[in-house]
Amino acid sequence: MKLFLDTANIDEIKALAASGLIDGVTTNPSLIAKSGRDFLEVIAEICAIIDGPVSAEATASDAPTMLKEGEKLASIAKNVAVKVPLTEAGLLVCKQLSDNGVMVNVTLCFSAAQALLAAKAGAGFISPFVGRLDDIATDGMGLIEEITAIYANYDFPTEILVASVRGVQHVVDAALLGADVATVPPQIITAMFKHPLTDKGIEAFTADWKKSGQSIL
């Protein structure tokens, strides 16, 4: 499973990109607004750091304006994936952009029916928001299971990009269900490194090594 970083913080992206663990980045206008920087400049800078897909979101709600925004975003770099909402207008734009060779990430998916429509519209990625479903006592991972089954039935090439990830278990569950991608904030990547038994083991090994009086260097 690929891991995308859900942030617009350049320093965070650079630090984790160096690890080789990050396959792409997802952003949205809210994340970039927090940085106080120009939207288009931030997208261009991220695309120069990350070789994989970088999701940049159109902000218009009507199809003609959304299409123009999508075309402008796609012109920034070859690895831009234009994010459009799962609306009638969004899927119309998805079809037009994907027909022209532009990667499209259809976002704000909350049902398997929506995911089916996005795949038929040529979406490169579908982004189901599992955390937001869990928040309203709906099974977010149940949705991933449904989408995975439907896409397998018809061999859709659309990749399932699990979004609104709230913790490490969401990432593990997504991988177990066969999702293609999980997009996660930096703190969850950091949490994935950690386990108390790993820390305990390192402490024991370090103590034994010091007692030996040896040195590798």
Residue boundaries of the structural domains of the chain? 2-212
* Residue 158, pLDDT score: 98
135 vs 24: CA distance, rounded Å: 26
Q: Going by C-beta distance under 8 Å and a sequence separation of 6 or more, which residues neighbour residue 40? A: 72, 73, 76
* Residue 28, pLDDT score: 86
Mean pLDDT of the chain: 96
Low-confidence ranges of the chain (pLDDT < 50): none
pLDDT, tens digit (0-9, with 9 covering 90-100), for 105-158 = 999 999 999 999 999 999 999 999 999 999 999 999 999 999 999 999 999 999
The reply to whether 14 belongs to the active site is: no
Q: Which CATH number fits domain 2-212: 3.40.50.150, 3.10.620.30, 3.20.20.70, 3.40.630.40?
A: 3.20.20.70
Query: Which residue is catalytic, options 78, 83, 95, 200?
Result: 83
* Residue 34, pLDDT score: 82
* Residue 145, pLDDT score: 98
Burial class (CB in 10 A: 0-12, 13-18, 19+), 52: middle
Asked if 73 contacts 53 with a C-beta cutoff of 8 angstroms, the reply is no
